[in-house]
Structures are given as structure tokens and as C-alpha cells.
Amino acid sequence: MENIQFRTQLKRASHKEMDVVAIHFPKNENAVIALKSIRGLQFSRTLGCWYAPYSNENMKNIVDTMKQFGFVDYKGVQWTKQPVELSLHKSKSIVSPEIAEQIELFRRWMTSARYSANTVQTYTEALRVFLVHFVNKPIQNIDNQDLINFNNDYILQKGLSQSYQNQIINGIKLYFKQVQRSAMDPNLIRRPRPEKTLPNVLSKEEVKAILNALGNLKHRTMLSLIYSCGLRRGELLKLKLQDIDSKRNLVLIRQAKGKKDRVVPLSMLVLDMLRAYFVAYKPQYWLFEGQTAGEPYSEKSLQSVLKLAIVKAKIHKPITLHWLRHSYATHLLESGTDLRYIQELLGHSSGRTTKIYTHVSTKNLQNIRSPFDDL
């Protein structure tokens, strides 16, 4: 239930020649900590509040973050709840027959090249947005300067994320190289500098509180399996009954990211939980089925399960399912597990990806004595 005493009010404003969202709320340290995950968040003495550049992505993140604390009034922004960049990907705008034909050619080529369904969806819809932007220009005449203009006039102007910018470039690069066979070279376009962000990690106490907050056996089992095996959301939902090897205490993850199989050890405690879950729910094909028999549990429902657990556990952080995977890796590292094994368990192609967890592990940091203590 929302705390009607805690009210957040969002207003559209112009600050330092930028279109921003002003965030007004009662003084609350936890709310400030939660908000700091918002892209471009700053405090303004002039506005007398925290603010962030206006974009659909920031609006969604701000609303999702602050509604954990109470009511959020965003009428002053005239914003409607829509997925941000996904709404662009899934745009139902009418396209010309030429664009529709090119998108279908691109889809067929990627499908035949065995690209994953998610990549096909992302790249074709990224291409749709790009081609619709130049609807009055023949596709064969689109050049590097058009891509630069699209970056400046569309992506940057709308404040879209770096990941979306990279998806656009990746999709367009592949399309013009494999389908158009044109002289256009997206490699000449400067990609955004990668953000050096650290993974979000929960303490073991916080993980325990989240899992214990769920009374529903199915919900608790799903989140427990994600944390105990370091699974991605999609990996959990694609598990089948035969992927649980109860004799060897292993979980087989098939064709995960990068089309790789891997195995991870299964906790005996989680195995006991799975056995109780199987007796109670009797899944037929997928390990976790939705309301319709034979259909896998939906991503949206799984996200709702986590949100419910966070509220019940009274943890005021913008936690996502991937935080549980990050926490699994960090807790393994802190318990002395070698990075090379963690890399294998997570399915990382490069050890550099896994190495980032050394920056969030507190095992060694806690042994460092501050010089302040010697004053």
C-alpha cells in the first residue's frame, strides 16, 4: 500500500538550457540513495531540488523508484507511462512498402544466420526507426552523414541511452554491410564512450530478507534459484524439468547468451525447495509455468514477484533481478572462490567482465584502516 504521507511531485523545467524533470519530495536519505541510479541526476540550488535530464527512460526510472516510498504525482510533466526505447522498437508507425521490404530482407538474413530472436527483434526495429527517420530519401542514397545527423538530431536530442545508440549503430552496420552491400561505413561513426559503472550488489542479509518475504513457494523458489545459481532472468524462465540434475546436484543452462551451454552447482537447500515446489505445482514441461499450462512463466510476472518481495522486505533500493546475479558473483568472490571459476559459472566469455566484481567486493576493503582513525 502506498504511503500517502510521502508525496513526490515531478515538474518539467528548463535548467542550464536543458529540458529537465524537477523532483520534489520530503527529505529522505533512502530516497536520495535510490534516486542516484538515475542517469544525469544532480541537485540544483536554483530549483531547490534534485533534477535529471528529461527523457522517457528517466521518467520511467524516477516514477518506478519513488513509488516505493509513496505517491508520485507526474501530471506536471504530462507524461504517460510508456516503455522508453522499447516503445520506439515496437513502434507501429506505418512504413513505406520499400522500408517494409528491406526490414523483412534484414530479418530473413539474420534468421538464416542464426541470430537470436532477441537480436533479430532489436536490430530490425532499430533499423525501422532509422529508415522511417529518412522516409523521404531513397535508401541507397543514405550515407555516413545521415547516420551522424540521426545520432545528433534523434538519439541525443531525445536523451536516449548509450545502449540504445549502440544498438542502432550495430543494427545499421549489419544491415548496410550484409543486405545493402553499400559503401556506407558506420565504423566511421564515433560510438559513445562506455560508462564505467559498478554492478549493484546486495548484502547477504538483504538477499535473505527478500527471499523470506515471499510466502508463495513458487515465487520464493524462482528467486532462490536465480540467486543460488547466478542466473539471468531469461535463463531461469527457459529451464525445463530435465535441466535439473538432482543426482549430481547440477543445473544445465542451455543455449544461454552467446549460444553457450553451461552447468552450475545446485544448492541442496534449493533442491529440497524445488522438490517441494514440484509436488505442489506439478509442472509438465517448463520448470516454471505460467497460468496457462505448457506456457513458461512471463518476464513481467517475475519482475512483479521481485517488486512485491522488495516492498515486503522494506528495502528502499531500485533492485532488479540482475542484482541477484551480481550478488551471487560477489558473494562467491568474498568467500574465496577463484575468479576463473566464477567466470565459468556466470558464462562470461572474457575474464575482464568477471573481474569487475573485485571492485565491489568488501572482503579486502574492510581490512583497510582509514588514516582518520590514527588522528
Catalytic residues: 232, 257, 322, 325, 348, 357
Q: How far apart are CA 14 and CA 323, in angstroms?
A: 34
Q: What is the DSSP letter of 137?
A: S
The C-alpha cell at 146 is: 545521415
Q: How far apart are CA 344 and CA 192, in angstroms?
A: 29
User: Among 143, 148, 142, 154, which residue's Cα sits nearest to residue 98?
Assistant: 142
C-alpha distances out from residue 317 to 55, 58, 291, Å = 21, 16, 29
7 and 70 in contact (C-beta within 8 Å)?
yes
229 and 328 in contact (C-beta within 8 Å)?
yes
Write the DSSP string, 241-309.
GGGEETTTTEEEEEEETTTEEEEEE--HHHHHHHHHHHHHH--SSBSSB-SSTTSBPPHHHHHHHHHHH
List Cβ neighbours of 335 (8 Å cut-off, separation of 6 or more). none
Residue-wise burial string across 102-113, b where 16 or more C-beta atoms lie within 10 A, e elsewhere:
bbeebbeebeee
C-alpha distances out from residue 237 to 118, 286, 297, 307, 336, Å = 15, 8, 6, 17, 30
User: Among 39, 326, 16, which residue's Cα sits nearest to residue 165?
Assistant: 39
The C-alpha cell at 289 is: 509455468
Q: How far apart are CA 261 and CA 183, in angstroms?
A: 37
The C-alpha cell at 24 is: 520534489
Taking the mean position of all CA atoms in its chain, how far away is CA 241?
26
Q: How far apart are CA 122 and CA 125, in angstroms?
A: 5
Q: How far apart are CA 17 and CA 28, in angstroms?
A: 28
Phi/psi at 372 (5° precision): -60, -35
